[in-house]
Structure 1
């Protein structure tokens, strides 16, 4: 599922800085809407979080 930045921040408790760092480092890809807005794939984020030390995915 593709999520907006605010949805990613709320669901996974990640900052905009972290997402942009992951994009810059090639760990994450963003998807652009027709209007140019970024969307992030929840499956990609969950995969990154599952391999990150000390970070847990919490579902609300």
Structure 2
């Protein structure tokens, strides 16, 4: 529970969402739908990059 308090609820949700996206992309890849797996797999780093960008903007103020 300390970990959740330390990183915050919104950050924990984003990490969980990215982990879920990676699992779905792996499932699609192993099922043979490689192009859709790559497309969905690219969402995770995009979301993480957006979260980092927003945090840098809000910490700069």
Which structure carries more relative contact order (alpha carbon 8 Å, separation 6+)? 1
Q: TM-score range by the shorter chain?
A: 0.3 to 0.5
Q: TM-score, normalised by structure 1?
A: 0.33
Q: Choose between structure 1 and 2: higher helix proportion.
A: 2
Q: Choose between structure 1 and 2: higher strand proportion.
A: 1
Q: Please identify the structure whose Cα radius of gyration is greater.
A: 2
